[in-house]
Amino acid sequence: MRSTLFAGGYVFDGTGSTPSRADVLVEDGVIRAIGRSLVGDTVVDTTGRTVLPGLIDAHVHLALSGVNLVERLANPFSFHFFQAVVNCQRTVATGITTVRDAAGADLGLKQALARGLISGPRALIAVNMISQTGGHNDGHLSCGLAVELFPHHPGVPSGVADGPDEIRRTVRTMLRAGADVIKVATTGGVLSPSDDPKHAHLRPDELAALVAEADAAHVAVMAHAQGAEGIKNAVRAGVRSIEHGIFLDDEAIELMLARGTWLVPTLLAPLSVIEAAERGEVHGPAVLDKALEVAAVHRDAVTRAVEAGVPIAMGTDTGIGPHGDNLRELQLLVDCGLSPYQAWAAATSGAAGLLRLDDRIGRVEPGLIADLVILDGDLTDLSGLAGRVVETWQAGCRTYRRPVHEVAR
């Protein structure tokens, strides 16, 4: 059994503690020891750098590559599968070794990643998002056409459902398609053409049926929830995480604290829509107006949640914006009150806890899987992070090395 020693640098263990000088010994894909004067068969010099746990993005869309409506209509149906391969490569190149795909990725993509056919992160998948007719996952346009955010095919069945019985059947359909998590939209959203992010979607009896069916399969529920009433409906129904939480009010925050509900803020998402518009990318006329409206209040809501102590996991909604830009979310979390080390913890041990993978990943600790990232610079400096990832290791194997000609940006 050959071993790899990461020697000479600092180690951030993922808990939020200050990095300390240490070496990390890896054998057979597992972290075996952390300390000084360790010995390994192969030595990776990390002098002047930091070794940290493989990063986790708890809200991505690997099969989505932007929100340009014209481009989506112009591309052949199969084109997005090939884009997904590149998206996975860009993700692991930014130090992210595990993701929770929040709709669009199917079981085939997950298995291709797991079997090493393509390079990319370990993936938990939602398959598709469940929403009501006219809700966040209903692509019906006023002209009579429908442009689905997550195109339907045999691996990604429709998520539009109404009434407890249909909701129950749709949950079972997603589980049959390979879902590791059930995603539901309990409010409207920014990208959907005919709804309002503040409006609550699905009634309590529908949400009760959805959560009960997910619970029966021992699968968690993540809720796209932006308006306060929809957030509270989701929390009362028993979802594990609120995604976005743009219009969180004090009652919603108190409910989340009482029930241990996680918040995945995705602060980058509305900014990505605004930036896409500035680049001239075309989407529905209402989308930019909604993005501008929510961006102004999103930071305040997340700041109040952070101050109250709501558990935070990093998620970015990447796919709305460019893959590889995920780590911009860390500075946005700091802007909302987390310290830099707390933000890194939200992207490591915190996200692992949300995904119930904290017994396997998320920390640099003996016995855990050796998902590791080597990073240039100080962790308190959150600028240019994508260009500062030197190497990414997954289960003890190097899956990304920064090209020699590139320098940290």
For residue 244, give the H/E element and its range. Answer: strand 241-244
According to the model, what pLDDT value does residue 409 have? 37
Using the predicted structure, report yes or no on whether residue 274 has a pLDDT greater than 90.
no
Q: Could you tell me which residues are beta bridge partners of residue 57? A: 99
According to the model, what pLDDT value does residue 285 have? 63
Task: Indicate the CATH number of 3-53+362-401 among 2.30.40.10, 3.40.50.2300, 2.60.40.10, 1.10.150.130.
Answer: 2.30.40.10
Q: CA 339 to CA 397: how far, in whole Å?
A: 31
According to the model, what pLDDT value does residue 189 have? 83
Q: CA 374 to CA 46: how far, in whole Å?
A: 7
DSSP state of 386: G
> For 269-278, what is the mean pLDDT?
85
According to the model, what pLDDT value does residue 347 have? 98
Q: Do 3-53+362-401 and 55-326 agree at the fold level?
A: no
According to the model, what pLDDT value does residue 72 have? 77
Q: CA 42 to CA 4: how far, in whole Å?
A: 5
According to the model, what pLDDT value does residue 169 have? 98
CATH of domain 55-326: 3.20.20.140
Residue 270 or residue 106, greater confidence: 106
Q: Where are the domains of the chain?
A: 3-53+362-401, 55-326
Using the predicted structure, report yes or no on whether residue 139 has a pLDDT greater than 80.
no
Each residue of 190-212: pLDDT tens digit?
777 677 888 999 999 999 999 99
Each residue of 2-13: pLDDT tens digit?
899 999 999 999
Using the predicted structure, report yes or no on whether residue 228 has a pLDDT greater than 90.
yes
pLDDT tier at 408, thresholds 50, 70, 90? very low
Q: CA 402 to CA 266: how far, in whole Å?
A: 27
Mean pLDDT for all residues in the chain? 93
Distance of CA 65 to the CA centre of its chain: 15
